[in-house]
């Protein structure tokens, strides 16, 4: 982290977390932040579900909910980026305050509730980014969400995909946010199968066949993981993102530890990696996995890969380490792979899986 970035982070800590996030996005969009550009190597170049990645470090959904900084984020060292979640209708989300720093725990709790400007506004931005030369340098994904007041949440996912799908490289079905009532109920086998069928049918109406990912929660029993693996396989899902935030609260020290919402950051690392490893075992390489949850270093990214992930995503760690973290992890991950004698990242995927079970 540069001295300038360190000072910028200290300045942002003076503000309420949600205001700080808004200011960080504004600074990024104003091109005030130094960007590393593409970071890659023969060892890191990989492919997941047909997407060619310069490196396997992705930006998780939530940082750029409304697709306002696509150009800048695509030059920030990530191998791929995901925006959203986006719902059919605009919605304000839950009452503020709804974002909390747990600095002692290197964690974050949020209960945003899918606040976003809706598919019409975001879809126009995505189309502009697609049509503008050099606007997108890495694969771009869209996290699909459902409106809180919707009477057919499953249809909401398909609706957003039909409207925005031609302007992205992949889309993620997000049934794992804890902040929209009854959303996680859609992870049940029957409901999930029906939802995914609708999304896949919507995908078939697009101009191009983009990969569809599924994002799951960490708060699952082994039996539920088995069910999800079977449903995802039957639905021909292209990849699974494991995992979203947790409702669990263990061994936390911050004064905000009992705030309602999803917990992300360091306390999530082990739990999410265990779910990842279990899912890897159940799928047996049938579907690639993207590991997310508590990644704040190359060592942790490497651990996710060795547990079964073909790529990883991060977000919360940037609250504490800045935007340059993605590039730093990519460079150090390349060195870790070389040190262990791996000529390519794919050779390391899952080698430690059983150690997590």
At 189-245, the pLDDT tens digits run 888 999 999 999 999 999 999 999 999 999 999 999 999 999 999 999 999 999 999
Cβ count within 10 A of residue 217: 23
In a domain, 21, yes or no: no
**pLDDT over 90 (residue 4):** no
Three-class DSSP category at 142: strand
User: What was the pLDDT predicted at 180?
Assistant: 65
85: preceding bond cis by omega (within 30 degrees): yes
C-alpha separations of 21 from 25, 32, 69, 148, 178 in Å: 6, 15, 13, 23, 20
Q: What average pLDDT does the segment 105-121 reach?
A: 97
Is the per-residue pLDDT at 178 higher than 80?
A: no
Structure tokens at 110: 């949020």
Is 16 domain-assigned?
no
Tell me what pLDDT residue 1 has: 80
Average pLDDT, the chain: 94
- Give yes or no: 177 in active site: yes
9 occurs within a structural domain: no
Query: Can you tell me the mean pLDDT for 37-44?
Result: 93
* Total tally of structural domains belonging to the chain: 1
Given this model, what pLDDT does residue 175 score?
A: 83
Average pLDDT value for residue range 171-188: 75
CATH number at residue 94: 3.20.20.70
Residue 311 belongs to some domain of the structure: yes
Say if residue 63 is exposed, middle or buried (CB neighbours under 10 Å; 0-12, 13-18, 19+).
buried
Q: Which candidate, 320, 226, 224, 213, places its Cα nearest to that of 264?
A: 320
Alpha helices in the chain, H assignment, sequence order: 3-12, 17-29, 70-73, 118-131, 153-164, 189-203, 222-234, 269-283, 298-307, 318-321, 325-339
Write the pLDDT tens digit of every residue in 122-167: 999 999 988 775 557 899 999 999 999 999 998 999 999 999 999 9
- For 16-70, the DSSP string reads -HHHHHHHHHHHHHTT-S--------TTT-EEETTEEESSSEEEPTTTTTT---H
Residue 7 lies in a domain: no
Name the DSSP class of 203.
H
Look at residue 1 and tell me if it is in a domain: no
In a domain, 247, yes or no: yes
What is the C-alpha separation between 232 and 238, in angstroms, rounded? 8
- Residue 286: other Cβ atoms inside 10 A: 10
Which of the following is catalytic: 167, 176, 177, 310? 177
Residue 20 covered by a domain: no
Separation between Cα atoms, residue 338 and residue 330, nearest integer Å: 13
Question: What's the domain range around 312?
Answer: 35-356
Residue 49, pLDDT above cutoff 60 = yes
Cα separation of 238 and 146, whole Å? 21
Q: Would the CA dihedral through 164, 327, 332, 274 be positive or negative? A: negative
Is residue 196 within 8 A of residue 214, CB to CB? The reply is yes
Q: Which residues contact 159 (CB under 8 A, 6 or more apart)?
A: 88, 119, 202
């Amino acid at each position: 982290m540069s001295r300038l970035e360190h000072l910028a982070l200290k300045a942002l800590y003076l503000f309420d977390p949600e205001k700080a996030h808004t200011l960080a996005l504004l600074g990024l969009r104003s091109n005030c932040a130094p960007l590393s550009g593409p970071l890659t190597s023969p060892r890191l170049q990989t492919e997941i579900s047909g997407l060619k990645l310069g490196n396997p470090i992705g930006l998780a959904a939530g940082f750029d909910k409304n697709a306002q900084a696509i150009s800048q984020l695509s030059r920030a060292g990530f191998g791929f980026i995901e925006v959203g979640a986006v719902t059919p209708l605009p919605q304000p989300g839950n009452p503020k305050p709804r974002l909390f720093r747990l600095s002692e725990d290197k964690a974050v709790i949020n209960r945003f509730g899918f606040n976003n400007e809706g598919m019409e506004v975001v879809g126009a931005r995505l189309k502009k980014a697609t049509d503008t030369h050099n606007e997108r340098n890495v694969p771009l994904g869209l996290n699909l969400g459902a409106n809180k007041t919707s009477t057919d949440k499953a249809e909401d996912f398909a609706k957003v995909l039909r409207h925005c799908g031609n302007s992205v490289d992949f889309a993620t079905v997000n049934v794992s946010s804890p902040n929209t009532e009854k959303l996680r109920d859609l992870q049940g086998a029957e409901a999930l199968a029906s939802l995914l069928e609708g999304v896949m049918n919507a995908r078939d109406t697009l101009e191009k066949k983009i990969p569809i990912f599924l994002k799951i929660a960490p708060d699952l029993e082994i039996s539920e993981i088995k069910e999800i693996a079977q449903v995802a396989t039957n639905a021909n899902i292209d990849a699974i993102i494991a995992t979203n935030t947790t409702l669990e609260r263990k061994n936390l020290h911050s004064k905000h530890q009992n705030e309602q919402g999803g917990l992300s950051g360091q306390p999530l690392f082990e739990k999410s990696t265990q779910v990842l490893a279990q899912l890897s075992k159940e799928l047996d390489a049938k579907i690639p996995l993207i590991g997310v949850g508590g990644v704040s270093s190359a060592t942790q990214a490497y651990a996710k890969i060795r547990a079964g992930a073909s790529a990883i995503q991060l977000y919360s760690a940037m609250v504490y380490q800045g935007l340059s973290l993605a590039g730093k992890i990519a460079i150090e991950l390349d060195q870790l792979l070389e040190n262990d004698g791996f000529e390519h990242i794919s050779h390391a995927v899952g080698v430690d899986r059983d150690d997590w079970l």
